[in-house]
Amino acid sequence: MLDETLTATAAAGGTAVVRSAGTDAWTGLRQRIAQWFARGDDTRERTALERLDRTSGALEAVARTGETERVRDRQEAVWQDRFETLLEGLDAEQRESAAAELRALVEEYGVPSQAAGQVSGNGFRGPTVLEDRSGER
């Protein structure tokens, strides 16, 4: 079982894969993620590329159906699990090195942070009040 930091790293990797699919960043991230999974093995790299392409295809196909959020959530979970599985299979030194590589990839290709004042991806149940604390009126 991974500690919280490694689990969060795997989750960020899953999010980066899903949110980058179909963007200008996709080609570079796709190749780097495949190499990360391959760890020098050509067969594993091809397998990772095929999985990444299936994810991209699924997200592209669902964009026309209106089920995008459900499919995105599912794909993020699938990729998080894949990252976690690989990390769990490594010894401690390899795990830390691989996690550092994954964090660097997420930082390089990850989704930019939301602009100030925007609220996104939040679920509110019950009465909710949003305050503008930016000092701008």
Tens of pLDDT, residue by residue over 39-62, are: 999 999 999 999 999 999 999 988
pLDDT tens, residue by residue, 107-128: 998 654 333 333 434 443 444 4
Domain of residue 98, residue span: 4-109
Calculate Rg over the CA atoms of the chain.
17
At 24, the amino acid letter reads D
Q: Is residue 48 part of a domain?
A: yes
84 in a domain, yes or no?
yes
* Residue among 112, 111, 90 at smallest CA distance from 101: 90
- What lies within 8 Å, CB to CB, of 28 at 6+ separation is 109
pTM of the model as a whole: 0.78
Return the half-sphere exposure (C-beta side, CA atoms, 13 A cut-off) of residue 24: 1
The answer to whether position 58 is within a domain reads yes
Q: Rounded to a whole number, what is the distance in angstroms from the first to the last CA of the chain? A: 48
Kindly state whether residue 62 falls inside one of the protein's structural domains.
Answer: yes
Q: How many domains does the chain have?
A: 1
Instruction: Report if residue 88 sits inside a domain.
Output: yes
Average pLDDT, the chain: 83
Question: Which residues make Cβ contacts (< 8 Å) with residue 131, sequence separation at least 6?
Answer: none
118 lies in some domain: no
Which tokens hold the place of 52? 């990444």
Is there a domain that residue 133 lies in? Answer: no
Q: How far is CA 102 from the centre of its chain?
A: 10
- 31 assigned to some structural domain: yes
Residues 8-33: tens digit of each pLDDT? 999 999 999 999 998 999 999 999 99
